[in-house]
Amino acid sequence: MIFVNNLIKKGGITMKNFILRLQQARFIKAFRSLQKDVYDNAQAHGFHELENNELHVPTKLALIGSEVSEALEAHRKRKDTEIPHELADIIIRVLDLAESLGIDLATEIIEKHKINVTREFKHGNKRY
Ligand SMILES: [Mg+2]
């Protein structure tokens, strides 16, 4: 804590930024742990047989798309209580793929969010 206080006094960082960085560090640690758990679980259940095959990535991406379709279908059929589970399936499949590719997805999310918050309203003249 003395180090933090000295850092803040010297103008190296504001308290707000210190807390933000601390929260990000905790998020990254927890997210990395979840990403590894998801990957290990999928592997233990036999879903990594294509990992060294060139079809690994397109197969995993298609499966992510299948979960998006399941969420859409749940919404279409007015089964709104199923939507949270399908959204979870999407994230789980994304985490599994990211881990298999050695991607630090937590850091990528934080960095991409920083870019997104600086963009103008509906950037690129997008309709939606
Ligand atoms: Mg599903």
**Distance separating alpha carbons of residues 119 and 126, to the nearest angstrom:** 12
Q: Is the pLDDT of residue 104 over 90?
A: yes
| pLDDT of amino acid 12 | 76
CA of 81 to the centre of ligand 1 (A): 13
The pair of three-digit structure tokens given for residue 86, joined into one six-digit string = 């399908």
Query: How many CB atoms are located within 10 Å of the residue 101 CB?
Result: 12
Q: What are the pLDDT digits (tens) for 71-83?
A: 999 999 999 999 9
Q: What are the pLDDT digits (tens) for 39-62?
A: 999 999 999 998 999 999 999 999
**For residue 114, what is the domain's CATH number?**
1.10.287
Number of domains comprising the chain: 1
2 domain-assigned: no
5 domain-assigned: no
**Distance separating alpha carbons of residues 6 and 24, to the nearest angstrom:** 21
Asked whether the CA dihedral 33, 34, 39, 44 is positive or negative, the reply is positive
CA of 59 to the centre of ligand 1 (A): 15
Residues within 5 Å of ion ligand 1, judged at the Cβ atom: 67, 70, 86, 89
Q: What is the mean pLDDT of residues 105-118?
A: 95
80 domain-assigned: yes
pTM for this model (two decimals): 0.86
**Distance separating alpha carbons of residues 57 and 125, to the nearest angstrom:** 32
16 domain-assigned: no
100 domain-assigned: yes
Q: Is the pLDDT of residue 4 over 70?
A: no
Helices 83-100, 105-117: axis angle to 10 degrees equals 110
| pLDDT of amino acid 15 | 84
CA of 126 to the centre of ligand 1 (A): 30
One-letter amino acid identity for 85? H
110 domain-assigned: yes
8 domain-assigned: no
CA of 14 to the centre of ligand 1 (A): 43
CA of 76 to the centre of ligand 1 (A): 15
User: In terms of pLDDT, which residue wins out, 7 or 27?
Assistant: 27
Nearest of 45, 75, 50 to residue 62 by alpha carbon: 50
21 domain-assigned: no
Q: Domain containing 68: what range?
A: 30-123
